[in-house]
Structure 1
Amino acid sequence: MTLYLLSIHQPDGGTPEPEFLAQVMREVGELRDELVADGSWVFGQGLHGPETATVLRPRDGDVLVTDGPFAEGKEHLGGVTIIDVPDLDAALRWGRRYALATTLPIEVRPFRSGVGG
């Protein structure tokens, strides 16, 4: 089995209508239940908005602390799900389902194996 990160990319701006958001959360909950039943669920959670981010950058032997996201853009990382599946094809199947459920872009990326990658 291989660990994969499913990153949910969310557009900047306001919160969706409550009815739409309720449907999305219902579908994401069903996906989580299926992943648990399949034995593939590891972890998943939404994130607070990018305005809550703090970035630490090494600079001249010290660390510079700044507010805000790592990179500015029109979208931000809205949440993550970690799954443990046999291969990329399986990870992509789950990623597609998350994309349809959330109506948002999903990045699928494997973790490196071993200590320190």
Structure 2
Amino acid sequence: MPRFMGFVRMEEGVGTPPQELFDAMDAYIGEQAAKGVFLDGGGLYGTEDAVNFVVREGEVSRVDGPYAEAKEVVGGWAIMEYPSLEEAVADQREFAELHAKYWPEVTVISTLRQISTGPEAPGA
């Protein structure tokens, strides 16, 4: 079965999500885990302790956070497995709708990407 990575991007420093969103997410993730769809995931701390390694012109340099230029950061991630792309997309929309319902004042981008297992095309 194809596996997917979902992640949530948002502006950094928008505050803590409301408890209602945490509660809704706990219920949603519990249902997805019970169905065998949700494999692993979690939230991420801010970029204040982040470390980037930048490769430029064959040289590697380390850049520590926080990053003043970062306007949007990944705030959470999930690894999921679905029988089809259509089911993955439908559930990712449902996930995004939880954010719209319980934290409408924040702009959130909920992204779904298929995980590559080799040179084959997505959806294979």
Relative to the length of structure 1, the TM-score reads 0.82
In the alignment, is residue 65 of structure 1 matched against residue 62 of structure 2?
A: yes
How far did 1:101 drift?
A: 1.3
Structure 1 moving runs of 4+ over 6 Å: none
- Deviations 1:69-114 (Å, cap 9, x if unpaired)? 7894422100001100012111111111111112322001000014
Instruction: Name the SS of the counterpart of 1:105 in structure 2.
Output: strand
Match of 2:37 among 40, 56, 59: 40
Aligned to 1:105: 109
Where do residues 21-100 of structure 1 align in structure 2 (5 Å cutoff)? Answer: 21-59=18-56, 61-68=58-65, 72-100=69-97
| Structure 1: segments with no counterpart, 5+ residues | none
In the alignment, is residue 13 of structure 1 matched against residue 17 of structure 2?
A: no
Relative to the length of structure 2, the TM-score reads 0.78
Return the letter of the residue paired with 2:8: I
- Deviations 1:5-46 (Å, cap 9, x if unpaired)? 111112222314xxx620111111111111111111111110
Aligned-pair identity in percent equals: 28
Query: In the comparison of the two structures, how many residue pairs are matched?
Result: 113
Aligned to 1:3: 3
- Deviations 1:38-71 (Å, cap 9, x if unpaired)? 1111111100002221101234554210013789
Instruction: Name the SS of the counterpart of 1:4 in structure 2.
Output: strand
Distance of 2:44 and 2:81 partners within structure 1: 21
Distance of 1:70 and 1:40 partners within structure 2: 34
RMSD: 2.4
